[in-house]
Structure 1
């Protein structure tokens, strides 16, 4: 079984995918955790080219993430369609909202405020209907509260009234997997005479796997398949690791496809994944009533992806790819006098709710740049994994005709600073990331290289800092998210214009910093 799909299918911070096909069109959603807007929705007609058409949670009242810490928030959605209505069910962790079902007639939105289902005591909910039209919620019984928080009790299920969110019966246990840790991410499918229960297990790190069981009824009992786990990269030399958390959908050619999360670690042995968990696809065949899944193959797009925002109009901030941490983009930034204006509260990216908006880094080779006029403030370009793992490049006026650029590399308990003074009252800041060209100990084996440069009014490209990207990766930060890069204000009012991103993951990638064509 050879895959004809690009992989990653949805690059960058796009974990826990769920996909549905409606009238030949695909809609895919992923987790967003502490970021807003939450729950991105992607659309495709060919399963190759995807468009980010909107986000489900566009209001703070929908998400409840205003006070959630990093790594909590909007976890593992499932998207389904029935009788002209799209449903997305999700758990919003460490939030009063808990498990919520959102509905819409158009997946581009607007989406409903959401109906809570308080009886779900767990995570990763799935939604399915039996032949009589009864709705069932199936979820991982990972207890986040109570006397034993953190306890796993396998997969549970109950019938639910989707209008009121009321459980119509007590939860029943369904299946606990093959014995690997953390049985989670259940999805139910009807195929022929059987109901199939697909789950993830082994944890979302290197041991991640996908297993399956089946039974004659949606309520079970379920018996495990003969070849579990169906999908697992642990112990292999595959360039895609941590494969799991899969959903099943019919592909354009009529054969089934798994969408699953995975990471792209750099290096051999102890390796690191700069972009976090991404969405991949792989074909599925059915043999003797059971699915057989091909290992996920790495097949990135060739060529360079480029996007630019002049930041001169409010309409540009309405693009669905902009993110803010625990707040809305419009609460952090506004367009004033033809420039993006942001006011800093006197804190850097260490803050839980910084004055920061960003976009997902989607390529291992990438350049992100912006022009900054600090005026009487301090601000610039930030790369964020969370409030403990981040990089900032800030500009402040040092004299009437010069600007001081400071790069701070932040890790828990560690801060390292770099400084350069450049001419002019405006500076272009750039964060470049590059894969190592060879995996040798003196070449940052296992991680990428992060180069921060500044260009003043003299046009000279000055390298301010060069950093080892292993320290800002999924394995080191132990984060569920990924790198998000964009403008931020540390203090005072800062003005920005000309945001640009380009990335490439093909054989040659991008030129090395200093060799590129200027953005």
Structure 2
């Protein structure tokens, strides 16, 4: 495997299912957070000193008192958010679509430490909330949705008290974009003499775009940028698509940059993206008072995503999350690995980590029984289950579940492997993003029990807002996982 220098226009700074990026800077330190939908702990947060190399430092919503479990609906949970720093305190505001109490505000002095219990904003119904402070200390909430118990909807704004979540004055409509579909994800900034309002428009699919307007006052009237949309890959043949949902940050040297989400579709038309929406980076110049995106400004060598976990540490690695459950309900760390169990809470009962590469190999070694899957949701997964002395390769696509192959389980440890490899395509229309290979280790190495086109584990097929996850669970009532290994196998092109 080669990890060469790449352009930020073609490779994410945070790969895998890390959508809806939001960024802030404190001195020389940058902090980046993401939406996480049904997975708990929620809202992963990262730290960087150079904008291109990021290390996860926590999950902002790591207690159920902060993140109500909504019963398992895929692509529910934690939506778009905003991370800001004001007067010595970090603020994170987000939407939990499982929770009817309104937008959620949590705070922390240390972004890697404990975040507060939530303050709710009950009057603001909708998604994608943003906080911005004026020079006079007034705090402005901007969001997509409606005002509770009124007919007011669209891109809305209100002055609020962030310590109580209460409106200080009635809400009002602000700039509604340039007329593309799904105007959402507002971020407001006080820059120079103007207030800037940036939106995502066109939907989070191929038409995704960034638009911007400016005003002399937070409430407007707003002047639309004559170059709108200021950033989009729509109707292009570029290898990165769905670019949008951007957030600006001023660098420590006084320049500007933007993080945004995008996808890397592969395979024959209409192409398929499998990792979910990832986080990319662009430089930003200001020309005649308007932001101009330079997606080629940053070149970097991507971090190696290889990891091994034997689960003997005292705490969970931050990468492990659970759909519609909690890691502690599914598994317990022991002296010799991880004890997995059925949590009995109606969830899939999986402990999951994000797939972060287009080509990869992952192995799970169990003491006896166990389940290992590559997962989008309960209706879209491929996997291996060792139970009652038999290993089965199975697939679920929509309403159909099928067994691809089976073999007797070996005596002693059971090693299961899942790989993403180049597709075997008989013709153009059979060319998907990858093939997924499911294997069992025997006396003569790994033997394939099943191989299937990876397009059925893509967003274009499964729909939704998430991406591929690797999940482990109990095979039957209980299992012991001794070790988990993940290795990227793609070669990155030179810049």
**Among 387, 390, 414, the residue aligned to 2:381:** 390
Give me the whole-angstrom Cα distance separating, in 2, the residues matched to 1:162 and 1:193.
25
Aligned counterpart, 2:488: 503
- Secondary structure of the equivalent of 1:383? strand
Secondary structure at the counterpart of residue 227 of structure 2: coil
- The one-character-per-residue Cα deviations of 1:296-328 (angstroms, maximum 9, x if unpaired) are 7997846853111112x252x521110011222
1:38 aligns with 2:48: no
The answer to whether the aligner puts 1:240 opposite 2:248 as a matched pair is: no
Q: Do the aligned residues in 2 keep the contact of 1:250 with 1:256 (CA within 8 Å)?
A: yes
Q: Of residues 41, 52, 55 in structure 2, which corresponds to 1:48?
A: 52
Q: 1:162 to 1:256 in 2, by over 3 A?
A: same
| 1:430 and 2:440 are equivalent in the alignment | no
CA–CA distance in 2 between the matches of 1:384 and 1:46? 33
Find the counterpart in structure 1 of residue 326 from structure 2: 328
Following TM superposition, by how much is the alpha carbon of 1:459 offset from its aligned partner in structure 2, in angstroms?
Answer: 4.6
Q: Tell me the SS of whatever aligns to 2:107.
A: strand
Give CA deviations for 1:232-288 in whole Å, capped at 9, x if unaligned.
Answer: 111101111111100001245532111000000003531000101010111111111
Q: Which residue is 2:463 aligned to?
A: 478
Counterpart check, 1:441 vs 2:427: yes
Q: Which of residues 362, 365, 372 is equivalent to 2:356?
A: 362
- With over 3 angstroms needed to count, the CA separation of the structure-2 counterparts of 1:245 and 1:362, relative to structure 1, is same
Counterpart selection for 2:407 from 420, 425, 445: 420
> Equivalent residue for 1:168?
168
Match of 2:437 in 1: 451
* Distance change (3 Å), C-alpha of 1:268 and 1:146: farther
**Equivalent in the alignment of 1:283:** 283
Superposition deviation, residue 426 in structure 1: 2.0
CA distance in 2, matches of 1:60, 1:430: 33
The secondary structure found in structure 2 opposite 1:267 is coil
Q: Which moved more, 1:79-88 or 1:153-162?
A: 153-162
1:10 aligns with 2:20: no
Q: 1:337 to 1:302 in 2, by over 3 A?
A: closer
Question: Contact 2:8–2:300 at 8 Å: present in 1 too?
Answer: no
Query: Which moved further from structure 2: 63-72 or 171-180?
Result: 63-72
Give TM-score scaled by structure 1 length. Answer: 0.89
Give CA deviations for 1:66-93 in whole Å, capped at 9, x if unaligned.
4251111111110000111000000111
Q: 1:339 & 1:42 partners in 2: Cα distance? A: 27
Is the partner of 1:423 in helix, strand or coil?
coil
> How far apart, CA to CA, are the structure 2 residues paired with 1:459 and 1:325?
36
Partners of 2:400 and 2:8 in 1: CA distance: 45
Paired position in structure 1 for 2:106: 102
Deviation at 1:337, TM superposition (A): 4.5
How many residues are matched?
Answer: 488
3-state SS of 2:328 partner: helix
Rounded Cα–Cα distance in structure 2 between residues aligned with 1:252 and 1:379: 49
Alignment check: 8 A CA contact 1:436 1:443 kept: no
Residue 475 of structure 1 and its aligned partner are, at CA, apart by 1.2
Conservation of the 8 A alpha-carbon contact between 2:387 and 2:475 = no
Question: Structure 1 residues 465 and 100, CA, compared in 2 at 3 Å: closer, same or farther?
Answer: same
Structure 1: which 5+ residue stretches go unaligned?
Answer: 399-403, 510-519
- Tell me the secondary structure at the aligned position of residue 456 of structure 2: helix
Following superposition, the deviation at residue 461 of structure 1 comes to: 1.1
* 1:468 and 2:453 are equivalent in the alignment: yes
Cα drift, residue 382 of structure 1: 1.5
Moved more, 170-179 or 412-421: 412-421
Which deviations, in whole Å up to 9, do the C-alpha atoms of 1:176-215 show, x marking residues without a partner?
1000111100001111111100000111111111100000
Residue in 2 that maps onto 1:341: 339
